[in-house]
Structures are given as C-alpha cells and as structure tokens.
Amino acid sequence: MNRRDFIKMGALGGVIVLTRPSLIDQKLFAHDGRLYESFEKVQLVDEEGTPIKASALEVDVDYIFQYPHAGTPCILLNLSEKSEVNVELKDALGDIYLWSEGVGKSGSIVAYSAICSHALTHPNKSESFFAYVPKGKASAAIEKGGAIVCSSHLSSFDPRNGGKVLGGPADQPLASIVLEHNAQDDTLWAVGVLGSAKFNDYFNAFKTEMDRDWGGKRQAKKLVKISAPTVKLTKFTKEVIQY
Amino acid sequence: MSMTRRDAFKVAGATAAVAAAATFTGCAKAEGAAPAVAPSQSHVTLMPKSKGKRVVIIGAGFGGLAAAKYIRKQDASIEVVVLDRRDIFMSCPFSNSLLGGLEDVTLDTLTRDLYAGAAKYGYRLEQCTVTGIDRASKTVMTSCGSVDYDILVLSPGIDYDYKGQFPEWSDEKIRHVQQQAPAALMAGSEHLALKRMMDNMDGGNVIITVPAGKYRCPPAPFERASMIAAYMKKEGIEGKVIILNATKNIAKGKAFKEVWADKYSGLIEHRDDCTITDIDLTNNKIHYKQIVGVDKEEKEIVETKVESFAVLNFIPKNKANAVVAMSGVKTNAWGGVIMNGASFQSKDDKHVYAIGDVVGHGVPPSGQTANWTAKEAVKEIVAQLNAHEPYKLNLPYSAANVCYSMVTDGPEEAIMVTHDFSFNGTVIAAKATVPHPKDGDGKYRSKGLAKATREWYRGILDDMFM
C-alpha cells in the first residue's frame, strides 16, 4: 500500500486509525512512514515511575516527556477547554492528514513533538524557547495567546487544532504524539507520531547537546520502552525563555 | 610499459585540458577565467539544455539557498542550479558578534561549505560570475558558460553605490576606501578586515557611517556600534564609537538608545543628519556636513565638520546587485524588481522571480525575510512549473520577520524587533514592533533575548544547510 492510497483510505476509514491507533503496527506509509508512524506503546509516568492520572494534570501547564526516542522531547498539555475534533492538517509538502482530538474525560489533553517544525528549536535541559502561552496572555508571536510558541523565530501553533500553524515561519504543523487514555484507570499512553517529524535532522543538528543531555547521539536515539517519565517543563529545564 | 610519474602528469594534464575546453566545467577561478569565456561565445554551455523544468537561482545566500532546498523538497522533478561567484558561505546575520568578541564566536560560526545543501537536496551549485542574462532565449551567461532556464530566480543581494554617492571619486579611490574603511555589509574579507583593524587598534575613535535610503539590515550599524563599544570596554581601549547617520532614523531606535544610555554613556555618540563629503585615508579624517538646526526663516543651518578616526566602517549607499539590471526587468529607483502584486514574480516577465534584498516590496532586507521570500516564491514557482492553480501568498502575516540585535557582553543581552507583513494594494509592506521582553525588568534588552539570538541564528542556518 503506498502512502497516497493510505490517505484515501484514511479519509474513508480514518476512524480506525484515529481512535485505536495502537492497533496499527508498523508504518502506515510503507515507503517513508512520514505521516503516521506507530512506536511502542508507552505509559506516561511521573519521576518516581507512578502512572500519571489524566485528571491530575494541571491545566495549561507544560509537561515534558521523551518520545519516541530517549532524547526527543514532547510537550503534554491539559488545555482549559476541549480540543477541536477531526482537524484537517497539511504538511509542508501539501499532504493532508487528519488529527482526531484531545483525550481524557474532557477531551482536553494533547501532546506534540516539542521540536519546532520550522528550525528544530526545542526544550533542552538548560533552556527552552518552546512553551505554551495560555489564552489571554500576550506574546510577541501571537496577540491573544492560546498557542504553543517557539520564541526563537516566533512560530506559533494551535494545540486545540492538531498543532496547526497560527503564525511565524513554520510551514507545517507540529508533529503530534498520538495518545490513548484508559478511561478505567485514567492512565495515559503514547502510541505513535502523526505528521511530519524531523527527528533525523534534530539528531544531526545538536551533537553537542546530545552529549551533554543524553550521553551521546546514539543514546538519545534509543527508542523509549514501557514508560516515559513526564515532568513539568520548569522542572525539565533550567530556564524557560518566552516572548 | 612502465610509465614515470612525470608522464602520468602529462597525460592527466592533457586530459583535463581537453575536458575543460569541451565543457567548461570545473571552472574553479571565476574571476580569472572570465575573459576566456566572453558572453558572445554563447555556444559554450555550462550544462545541457533544460528538459522543461529547470530553475536557475543567482545567489547562494539566505534567499537563494533556502529556495534551492525547498524547490527540491517540494518537487524533486525540478532541476535546480545555483550560481554564485563565492566559494564559501559566510553569514552577515550574527557577524557583529564576532566584532564584539562574544564567547565562542569564531569564523567557523559564520561560515559553511556551500556543498552540504547541494549534496543533500540534489541541486547543482556552480561557482561562476554572471556576465549577462538574455530573457528572450531564457539564458544566463556566466564566466563558466551559459545555462538556460525555465524559471530564473534573482537572489543576488546588494551592491555598494560608491559611484552614486561620490561621482567624483576615481575607481582607485573607491577600491582604496572599500579596503581601508570596509563597509562589511557583504560577507567576506570586509568583515575580517574590520575585525583585524579592531584587534590592532590601541586607542581613538571608531566611526560608523549610516547611509540614506534602503540598505541591507537596517539595525546592523547600530548593533555593530554596540558590539564594538562592548569590545572596547572589555579590552580597555580608550576612545568612543561615533555614528554619523545620514538621517535621524535608528532601526529599533528606542531600544538602542536605552542601552547606549545605560551601558555605553560617553562611549557611543550618535549624530543625526550627517552627509559625508570626503574621506581622507592619509590623515584618517572624515569630512561631513551636518544639519544642526533651522534659522528664523526656517532654513537649515548646515555646519561643515571633520572628525578623526582610528578605524572607519564606511557604509556607503546601497543599491540592488547589478545582476538585476542585467535581466532588464522593470525596477524601482533602488534597483528592486517591480513585483506582480502580492507575489515574488516579476511584473514584466512571468519566468523571472526575485527574492531577498532585491524584492520590490516594502519588507526589511533581513536574513529571515530573505528566507521567507524564498519559501513563498518556491510555492509560486512549483505551482507554475506544474501548471497548477497559482499559489496565493498567505497575507497578512503577523510576526513574519523577527530580528535580534546583540547589544551587550558580560552578560550577553539582546533586543528584538518583529514585523507584520500585509499587502497594501501595491506592495507587501511591513509594520515594526519593538517589544519589551518578559525577562527584561522593564528594559528592551534581556539575557534571554541574547540566548534567543543565538538560537535564531542556529535555526536559520540549519534551515538552509540541513
């Protein structure tokens, strides 16, 4: 099955992909795996390894976990309102894909790759130019807030709409991390990456940082298994810089 | 048969010569080779005829390299050729940090090999000098032969307009001034020369001139003044930085003036309305006229003045690079290409696009804007070559341009400006905002902005080369 075929199929049978992504194994787009790639199903846990309860996530606070690689940061947000549903997104090459919705009781929990889709700016252990600006708070990138802002080149992204670009030089949405919420025990799981992720460019661009933060590029590339420790951004990094 | 090394050399030499004569590839020394391939020898081709989807980009800077990469990314069936007379990439953005002696900033920080992007994205890079453009046959003539195009992208950047500013100066004097009082708005030896002069100076004044009209990177002279002042402070050099500005305009003015007052009091002096009349490099003196006020009849009072310098950074008037005129497309007075509305296509010729400094829009001539114009032009070009619906620019566009300026060292601090772009019916125009950063304690500058400056620079270079 080639990628185009899948997109067509996705439009018709998209529900399968979007609601039960963990049922899909391997890459959906066999020849490059760009738009949706499933990875090991990993549980979000706190620093002690205790499973995170979705309802315990603070509202509008940035959380960071590493997924699908040991050194690829993702941002987790419990937004103050429900996300939009079945958002049509377009990547830089014009391919269209669907982002389903936030998870959790109120459909407000979303996760994205925290590597900016423009020029790879991301949170590291020393600083972060990448963070959520809650609604009503001003930013140089976007007047009314409600956006994930990359304060390096001032791209802004809408977390309620699949990471769609709101402004700035980014030419495609943030890659989103597909989450599953287990309603029985209120746990959260990461299962795959939707959209165009730039992991390879990222590994090549930050060799020094990989050494400092993750003990080397090869360590940072290792795939996360079983669980992903999830901490507040302010705990993950020394300094959050935001404009 | 045994062959000596000498024989082998002969054979190799002969083979190479034949190959070069036949195709004129491997034209390494562009300037030196120029006379051998006059534009009239149009039968000498740089490469085979286009198969119908070839884009030739003139200029391997912030605009041209972004365009080359993104065309190839969006449509690998399009052949891309980039022409530049330089053999190395050097950045103007962030280069004042080298003058300021900021931590870990070296020539390595500013340079890249031009081959990286070409190899990764499969475009062809040719080091040559453009000698002519024939739009009728859609051909670019270069010092290495001619190349035909389906779409031509003009991204050549600026030229200095010494002649326009000083018609009476000889070519020899212009060359002398360019080397002894380098402008350093075009990356290369000029920047290094200025750095050498700063390293060698023991005391005295550094003079920076700011021209009238559009020039590349409007905050550059003021950032440079700040960085040089920081350097002089660090090194204990006695003297000051004097800015002789042709107008009263200072890009990011409020923010620069604030840091000059706070950190460089008595060290940076900005003088308005100064028209340079002559430069005396024998006695290290610059002559100028300054409007100092108006008399009772509201007539300007002009004073003739002279100032000594230890180092002179003479920034002459700018104009669009001469390559634009070679194309013969309609331009504005500065030389910028008149555009087809909210587009980067020439109004005259739908096969010619312009990006970067030479666009005829009212957008700032900055690195990030060059990058943006490139990416938008690419979408138009890809649509055109594939006979798709024309691409419409996404306007208005807020925070379209962001530009940082380093202003202090120990600790490093920077200021910023953002621009919103919109189409005003004739051109794309920009509106500037100089924000107070959240971590600035009410000041325009902050340490976080300095970190953002470094991250901005890293990101925009990676966007071209990775």
- B302/B35 Cα distance (integer angstroms): 48
Q: Contact A119/B459, CB-based, under 8 Å?
A: yes
> Smallest Cβ distance to B466: which of A153, A168, A201?
A201
Q: Which residues in B lie closer than 8 A to residue A93 (C-beta atoms)?
A: 73-74
Q: So what's the pLDDT on residue B321? A: 98
The predicted complex's ipTM stands at 0.71
How close A129 comes to chain B (CA, Å)? 7
List pLDDT tens digits, range B230-284.
999 999 999 999 999 999 999 999 999 999 999 999 999 999 999 999 999 999 9
Amino acid in the structure at residue B64: G
Q: Which residues in A lie closer than 8 A to residue B74 (C-beta atoms)?
A: 92-94
Positive or negative: CA dihedral B384, B389, B390, B392: negative
SS3 B205: coil
Residue B149 near residue B352 (C-beta atoms within 8 A): no
The helix (run of H) or strand (run of E) holding residue B379 is: helix B367-385
Which residues of chain B have a pLDDT value below 50? 1-26, 28-41
User: Phi/psi of residue A124, each to 5°?
Assistant: -125, -175
pLDDT confidence tier of residue A96, bands split at 50, 70 and 90 = confident
Residue B254 near residue B405 (C-beta atoms within 8 A): no
Q: State the Rg of chain B over Cα.
A: 24
Lowest-pLDDT range of A15-19, A188-192, B102-106, B331-335: A15-19
Positive or negative: CA dihedral B93, B99, B104, B106: positive
pLDDT confidence tier of residue A138, bands split at 50, 70 and 90 = confident
DSSP B358: G
- B113/B127 Cα distance (integer angstroms): 12
How close B20 comes to chain A (CA, Å)? 37
Q: Which residues in A lie closer than 8 A to residue B383 (C-beta atoms)?
A: none
List the domain boundaries for chain A.
Answer: 7-236
Residue B359 near residue B373 (C-beta atoms within 8 A): yes
Q: Which two tokens stand for residue B284?
A: 């290290």
Instruction: Give B355's contacts (C-beta < 8 A, 6+ positions apart).
Output: B63, B64, B67, B153, B154, B155, B344, B370, B373, B374, B377
Q: Which two tokens stand for residue B11?
A: 């054979």
Q: So what's the pLDDT on residue A95? A: 81
**Residues shown for chain A:** 243
- Name the residue in chain B with its Cα closest to that of A203: B466
What are the start-end ranges of the E strands in B175-216?
A: 206-210
**Which residues partner with B337 through β-bridges?**
B331, B359
Q: Which residues in A lie closer than 8 A to residue B466 (C-beta atoms)?
A: 201, 204-205
Q: Helices H, strands E: what count in chain A?
A: 5, 16
Q: So what's the pLDDT on residue B399? A: 87
How close A34 comes to chain B (CA, Å)? 14
Compute the mean pLDDT over every residue in chain B, rounded to the nearest whole number: 91
More confident residue, A33 or B264: B264
Q: Contact B368/A167, CB-based, under 8 Å?
A: no
Q: Contact A152/B368, CB-based, under 8 Å?
A: no
> Smallest Cβ distance to A154: which of B418, B448, B451?
B418
- B228/A74 Cα distance (integer angstroms): 40
Whether A141 contacts chain B with CB within 8 A? yes
Q: So what's the pLDDT on residue A36? A: 85
Q: Which two tokens stand for residue B418?
A: 């953002």
Q: So what's the pLDDT on residue A9? A: 40
Percent of chain A whose predicted confidence (pLDDT) is above 90: 70
Q: Which residues in A lie closer than 8 A to residue B400 (C-beta atoms)?
A: 168-169
**Which residues partner with B420 through β-bridges?**
B431
Q: So what's the pLDDT on residue B8? A: 42
Best mutation site among B398, B413, B463 for testing chain A: the one with the most A CBs within 10 Å? B398
Q: Contact A120/B459, CB-based, under 8 Å?
A: yes
Q: Which residues in A lie closer than 8 A to residue B448 (C-beta atoms)?
A: 239, 241-243
Q: Contact B416/A140, CB-based, under 8 Å?
A: yes
- What would the mean pLDDT of A211-224 be, rounded to a whole number? 95
Instruction: Give A92's contacts (C-beta < 8 A, 6+ positions apart).
Output: A117, A171, A172, A196, B73, B74
Closest CA to B103 of B353, B437, B418, B406: B406
Q: Which residues in A lie closer than 8 A to residue B117 (C-beta atoms)?
A: none
Continuous H helices in B216-295: 220-235, 253-263
Top-tier CATH class for A7-236 = mainly beta
Tell me the angle at which helices B220-235 and B253-263 cross, rounded to the nearest 10 degrees.
10
Q: Which residues in B lie closer than 8 A to residue A120 (C-beta atoms)?
A: 459, 462
- Name the residue in chain B with its Cα closest to that of A120: B459
CB proximity under 8 Å: B 350-389 to A: 368, 371-372, 375
Interface A-B: count of C-beta contacts within 8 A:
79
Q: So what's the pLDDT on residue A35? A: 81
How close B397 comes to chain A (CA, Å)? 7
Q: Contact A121/B459, CB-based, under 8 Å?
A: yes
CB proximity under 8 Å: A 151-210 to B: 151-154, 156, 167-169, 171, 201, 204-205
Query: Hunting for tokens 């559009």 — which residue is that?
Result: B214
Residue B152 near residue B353 (C-beta atoms within 8 A): yes
- The answer on pLDDT for A177 being more than 50 is yes
What is the pTM (predicted TM-score) of this model? Answer: 0.84
Q: So what's the pLDDT on residue A143? A: 85
Instruction: Give B36's contacts (C-beta < 8 A, 6+ positions apart).
Output: none
Q: Contact A140/B462, CB-based, under 8 Å?
A: no
